[in-house]
Amino acid sequence: MIENISQVEYEPPIPHIGLQTRLLIGGSSLHPNNEITQLNIDSILSFEDRDYTPFEQASRSERNNYWQNSSVSSPEDQIQAWAQNLNDSFQSRSFTEGEKQLFQNIGVNAQNFSTDAALEIYNRYFNQSQKEPIDSVKLFIYDILHAHINLESQVIDWNLLNHNISTIEWFAKIFGEKSSQIISQLTDAEAVFINSPEVFRNLDLANRLEVEKIELLEFLSPFIAPNEEQDPEKVTSTDPYEVADQLVDYSTGLANETEIDLTDSFASLLETSQLLLDTDHPLIKRDEPVVILSNVTYAMIDRIASKANELNREIAFIVQGLPYLHNENSLLLFGAFAVPSNNYDNLQKHTTQHDQELYDRNGLTVAHATGLSQYNRMVVSGHVHQSQLGSKWNVTPSPQDEEVMAHWLEWSNRPFLSWMIATKSENELCIRSIYTYKEGDEIKHKDIPFITESEINAAVKELEKFDEAA
């Protein structure tokens, strides 16, 4: 929990208030053309509860664009180039004693920096385990806020943070040039809001935006949830395939903004699965990873597989949801929804590749449309083998598939990767879930079970009948 900032007389820099207020409110307020008509600071969420998805997605897009325009292509070379560039930046900068202390407080030795130190920073913010996914931008700001806690009073020293804000923005360039400006403003806003929320009470100031602040909000615009004032169509259907058809236009592979609340149904899936775990039901094995797909997720994969057959091309997709570590050996990967993750214009017959920007946009759109923003995190990477490849390749990984996953496991430094292959043949969807992991120095692949929501519900009904009979 972030403690209060020190009790200082705070005179807000007027030009910043409009931007900072909007960053804290989030949602449609991040659109620069939207006027804020009501301002209730009691409705502004705390740092812990604030949705950082737009900031995270914008940073990721900015970083991806950087590498797309770079001559460095392989992931390993990109990481090494990134580390070398950061090392060069530290080596060429003269640090004051205050700056050295700031970096020391976040575990960085600015005076004796090295490429190894740069790689540690990379692993901290950009290379996290799927078991504990967290927004990198939010983690960075959390670290900065804690670096300014006064050891005696145990509160954040806002005066010191304000003094360091230009250094913070310089360091935050690891998230991108534009993103670093967003992060410095957001860090300052979070610190002030913790102790002096009344600063953001002024409605007139909230609607004052300088040109450069408007440009920052325009930079965020592609990653903001649909504007509620546009009143997108709302759907109440509970049929998984009808829901799937409303959420994504499978003719283009792009997500729609149609609203349909899936929070209760996904919460129910989590609850019933927990019930089976608590009763040691054999459907969910407790000693290995298990993929559990909501019925909507299954329907969305089915639709993507049908489109792959229609185009006679492989299509990549991502399953978003919740990774849940039940115990040391029992990992449950809950799928809340699935979205296409590559551009139909660049599809291949025998290979496929995820388009990060498209995946980010599709995931963000569906997450907000369904009310599942807190579950907008990848749990399974997948692709479809079109039926025209023949029965030999029905849900069968190619040697190239396994090589690619082994390569990504080494590059990401994660403990595992979960992925799946889907094929729709003779109107029947087949799915194979695979788990890639490291055992000693050897990378291994093994099949893991996948269970649908319908199977979970059927098992729960059996338990209820047994309890009634008893």
**pLDDT tens per residue across span 244-257:** 999 999 999 999 98
DSSP 41: G
- Average the pLDDT over 334-346 and give the result: 88
pLDDT band at 327 (very low <50, low <70, confident <90, very high): low
What's the pLDDT at 270? 92
Tell me which of 14 and 121 has the higher pLDDT. 121
- Average the pLDDT over 289-297 and give the result: 95
Q: Which amino acid does the sequence have at 305? A: A
Residue 79, number of CB atoms within 10 A of its CB: 20
218-232, 273-287, 381-395: which range is least confident on average?
218-232
Report how far apart the first and last C-alpha atoms of the chain are (Å, whole number).
47
pLDDT band at 228 (very low <50, low <70, confident <90, very high): very low
Question: Mean pLDDT highest for which of 263-267, 342-346, 405-409?
Answer: 263-267
- What are 20-38's pLDDT values in tens digits? 999 999 888 888 888 888 8
What's the pLDDT at 113? 96
What's the pLDDT at 469? 62
Distances, alpha carbon 221 to alpha carbons 61, 217, 218, in Å: 12, 6, 5
What's the pLDDT at 84? 95
200-214, 318-332, 359-373: which range is least confident on average?
318-332
- Average the pLDDT over 44-63 and give the result: 88
Which DSSP string do the residues of 317-333 spell out, in sequence order?
EEEEEEEEEEETTEEEE
What's the pLDDT at 185? 95
Q: How far apart are CA 366 and CA 337, in angstroms?
A: 8
101-115, 133-147, 216-230, 396-410: which range is least confident on average?
216-230
Distances, alpha carbon 375 to alpha carbons 156, 356, 470, in Å: 31, 18, 38
> Where do you find CATH 3.40.140.10 in the chain?
240-469
6 has pLDDT over 70: no
78 has pLDDT over 80: yes
- Average the pLDDT over 398-423 and give the result: 82
Tokens of 217: 């909000």
Q: Cα torsion at 54, 418, 284, 329 (round to 10°)?
A: -100
User: What radius of gyration, in Å, describes the C-alpha atoms of the chain?
Assistant: 24
Q: How far apart are CA 139 and CA 174, in angstroms?
A: 13
Residue 376, number of CB atoms within 10 A of its CB: 23
Q: Is the dihedral of CA 91, 93, 97, 102 positive or negative?
A: negative
468 has pLDDT over 80: no
Q: How far apart are CA 82 and CA 235, in angstroms?
A: 45
Contacts of residue 65, defined as CB under 8 A and 6 or more positions apart, other chains included, come to 357
Tell me which of 173 and 65 has the higher pLDDT. 173
50 has pLDDT over 60: yes
Q: How far apart are CA 407 and CA 423, in angstroms?
A: 24
- Average the pLDDT over 87-112 and give the result: 94
How confident is the prediction for the chain on average, in pLDDT?
Answer: 85
- Average the pLDDT over 202-231 and give the result: 77
Look at the block and give the residue holding tokens 């059996």: 462
> H or E segment at 246?
helix 240-247
Q: Is the dihedral of CA 218, 223, 228, 234 positive or negative?
A: positive
Q: How far apart are CA 205 and CA 202, in angstroms?
A: 5
> Which one of 3.40.140.10, 3.40.1160.10, 3.30.1180.20, 3.40.50.300 gives the CATH number of domain 240-469?
3.40.140.10
What's the pLDDT at 236? 53
Angle among Cα 264, 270, 276 to the nearest 5 degrees reads 135
DSSP 383: E
